[in-house]
Amino acid sequence: MGQVKYVFVTGGVTSSLGKGIISASLGKLLSARGLRVTIQKFDPYINIDPGTLNPYEHGECYVTEDGAETDLDLGHYERFLAENTSQKNNVTTGRIYNNVITKEREGEYLGKTVQVIPHITDEIKRSFIALGYTGNYDVIITEIGGSVGDIESLPFIEAMRQTKWELGHENCIVIHLTLIPYLKAVGELKTKPTQHSVKKLLESGIQPDILVCRSERAINTEIRKKLALFCNVPINSVISSIDAKTIYDVPLLMRKEKLDERVLELFNLPIGEEPGLVYWKEFLTKLKNPVHEIKIALVGKYIDLHDAYKSIAEGFIHAGASNECKVNINWVSSEDIESENVAEILGEHDGILIAPGFGERGVEGKITAAKYARENKIPFFGICLGLQVAIIEFGRNVLGLKNAASTETDPQTKEPIIDLMEEQKKITKKGGTMRLGAYPCTLKEGTKVFEAYGSSEISERHRHRYEFNNEYLEKFENKGMLAAGVNPDSNLVEIMELKNHPWYVGTQFHPEYKSRVVEPHPLFSGFIKAAINHKNKKK
Ligand code: GLN
């Protein structure tokens, strides 16, 4: 295909309408028709990336192969499309300004006053189309964070207007996702907020090409007609997006509404055959008709916002479906766990997952949970900090190293069993400075992880500063805690696994970032199988 086609997705009325899921669903449908698609997100905040944000601010920080710390919507894009994203797929206002200010200092605009228009908008436009120059894509979908009318997203909206004008309507379209609220008192769906948000876009010179209308109830022909008339779009461009049972229903719902066909028509592209989506449908059938059911304790400290552990939760959905198993997650606050109550809190579970995390808060509770899983032979999965606490626990209670700790929480400890990586010792800056992105790992034959992956060479994504201190490795292995996966270049321990336990695995990397609908993660799958066995044994 010649000209790259651009789709912008904006949001109106409120935030949290699911622009990410609509973008991912459209991407899925177009790629199922053979187009090469990628999705990018432009966020209006000033942080250069979300890497320095507390998860309670903005949910999970998702990490790409190339080590970009990104918005969690990129996780949806990868899970739906089964395609990697990169640093270029997530751009913030902060990054745009940073680029422009760097250029200003380098003298690129010598003699000129540097202004929002044209310098900031030009930089945004360049970033909008940057992936188009790779030659890797036919369609680029760009999700604009926030809602239309927000002061901070104005430069993005203006850059979008200019891009549409420059590329022409047949190469660039705007989909506006909006809310149609249902007023119980009068028993009616209301179109007025949508009319206002479309007017807001029109004030900025943008006529949306398609409206995707999120609602609790189905919108009938009358409402579609009204929206079409007042928002200037043909009636077949009013797409209904009714609340779905699972986000994975949305591609099929959008297919039913012919969102993909409308996009192709507007781009003057052939519609072709209807995509089969065979695997997707099989996945949904398994997801909705489980044979098994298990209860997993997810022990973390940001449990009040489930988005903080989004990829882990989705990893359970993918691997759960492939094992025909409904995975119920019980969100447990690590700060509530103490030796006296651990049995009461965790006793009823079929598996215990200890989540990633930073800092001191809640660490002792996680250590207690790891001990409980080890001693009671409950399937255990530790991710990043989850592995580190399992190591500390084993050091203290099996090897008798009473002072075993991580220098992250106890910088003066006499037993720095988890310590800052050598390459991290000189780093003082915070943003983007962790060990980030994909690294290779070699698995030991005969281990459970080797069996799960079915291969000895793997690659997984990382986000951490601290590591297992190899000086202690021999002691650990002598007592049955094995380095089951090691980085072949640096010798860093990436996976530890306990012998003589049904399934006790901790990974320094984040397997959850690579779980996809069409490719459930082998470790999530292995953990779920072990939890099903554990449950069956209890019966
Ligand atoms: N805080 C730990 C480290 O930096 C673990 C990080 C994580 O769980 N992502 O090594």
What is the mean predicted confidence (pLDDT) over 66-88?
Answer: 97
Q: Which atom of ligand 1 is nearest to the CA of 386?
A: 8
Contacts of residue 479, Cβ cutoff 8 Å, sequence gap at least 6:
394, 398, 399
Q: Which atom of ligand 1 is nearest to the CA of 510?
A: 9
Residue whose entry in the numeric block shows the structure tokens 């979008």 = 160
Q: Which atom of ligand 1 is nearest to the CA of 463?
A: 9
Q: Strands, DSSP E only, in 361-502?
A: 380-383, 404-406, 415-420, 435-443, 457-464, 466-468, 481-486, 493-498
Find out whether the beta carbon of 60 lies less than 6 Å from any atom of ligand 1: no
Catalytic residue chosen out of the listed positions 501, 512, 521, 534 = 512
Find out whether the beta carbon of 385 lies less than 6 Å from any atom of ligand 1: yes
Contacts of residue 450, Cβ cutoff 8 Å, sequence gap at least 6:
443, 444, 456, 484
> Does the annotation mark 510 as catalytic?
yes
- C-alpha distance from residue 37 to each of 30, 77, 89, 215, 262 (Å): 7, 10, 12, 27, 16
The 10s digit of each residue's pLDDT in 43-54 is 999 999 999 988
Instruction: Give burial (CB, 10 Å; 0-12/13-18/19+) of 109.
Output: middle
The 10s digit of each residue's pLDDT in 208-241 is 999 999 999 989 999 999 999 999 999 999 999 9
Tell me what the pLDDT averaged over the chain comes to. Answer: 96
Find out whether the beta carbon of 384 lies less than 6 Å from any atom of ligand 1: yes
List alpha helices for 189-309, DSSP H: 192-203, 221-231, 250-256, 259-266, 278-288
Q: Which atom of ligand 1 is nearest to the CA of 408?
A: 1
What is d(CA 508, CA 268) in angstroms, rounded to the nearest whole number?
48
Is the model's pLDDT at 1 over the cut of 70?
Answer: no
- Ligand 1 pocket check: which of 385, 424, 433 to mutate, most ligand atoms within 8 Å of Cβ? 385
**How far does residue 337's CA lie from ligand 1's centre (Å)?**
20
Find out whether the beta carbon of 366 lies less than 6 Å from any atom of ligand 1: no
Tokens of 29: 């449908």
Q: Name beta bridge partners: 179.
A: 214
N-term to C-term CA, the chain: 58
Is the model's pLDDT at 69 over the cut of 70?
Answer: yes
Phi, psi at 41, each rounded to 5°: -125, 130
Find out whether the beta carbon of 464 lies less than 6 Å from any atom of ligand 1: yes
- Closest by Cα among 367, 293, 360 to 328: 293
Residues in the chain, overall count: 539
- C-alpha distance from residue 175 to each of 237, 401, 426 (Å): 9, 59, 47
What is the mean predicted confidence (pLDDT) over 92-106?
Answer: 97
Catalytic residue chosen out of the listed positions 318, 462, 510, 534 = 510
Residue nearest to ligand 1 atom 6, measured at CA: 464
Q: Which residue has the higher pLDDT, 273 or 40?
A: 40
Whether the CB-CB separation of 531 and 538 falls below 8 Å is answered with no
- Closest by Cα among 325, 373, 326 to 351: 373
Tokens of 118: 């044209």
**How far does residue 431's CA lie from ligand 1's centre (Å)?**
14
The 10s digit of each residue's pLDDT in 148-191 is 999 999 999 999 999 999 999 999 999 999 999 999 999 899 99
Q: Give the max Cα distance, the chain.
A: 78
> Does the annotation mark 519 as catalytic?
no
- Closest by Cα among 531, 517, 533 to 81: 517
Percent of the chain with pLDDT strictly greater than 70: 100
Torsion, CA 96, CA 102, CA 106, CA 108, rounded to 10: 10
Catalytic residue chosen out of the listed positions 384, 497, 501, 521 = 384
Strands 404-406 and 380-383: unpaired
> What's the confidence (pLDDT) of residue 538?
78
Tokens of 41: 């997100």
Q: What is the DSSP string of 60-98?
A: PPEE-TT--EE-THHHHHHHHH-----GGGEEEHHHHHH
Q: Which residue has the higher pLDDT, 218 or 394?
A: 394
**How far does residue 341's CA lie from ligand 1's centre (Å)?**
26
> Does the annotation mark 512 as catalytic?
yes
> What's the confidence (pLDDT) of residue 421?
86
- C-alpha distance from residue 477 to each of 182, 338, 379, 406, 481 (Å): 61, 28, 20, 19, 5
Helix H, strand E, coil C: the string for 389-401 is HHHHHHHHHCCCC
- C-alpha distance from residue 192 to each of 22, 146, 189, 195 (Å): 22, 20, 10, 5
What is d(CA 525, CA 315) in angstroms, rounded to the nearest whole number?
9
> What's the confidence (pLDDT) of residue 14?
87
- Ligand 1 pocket check: which of 353, 384, 406, 510 to mutate, most ligand atoms within 8 Å of Cβ? 384
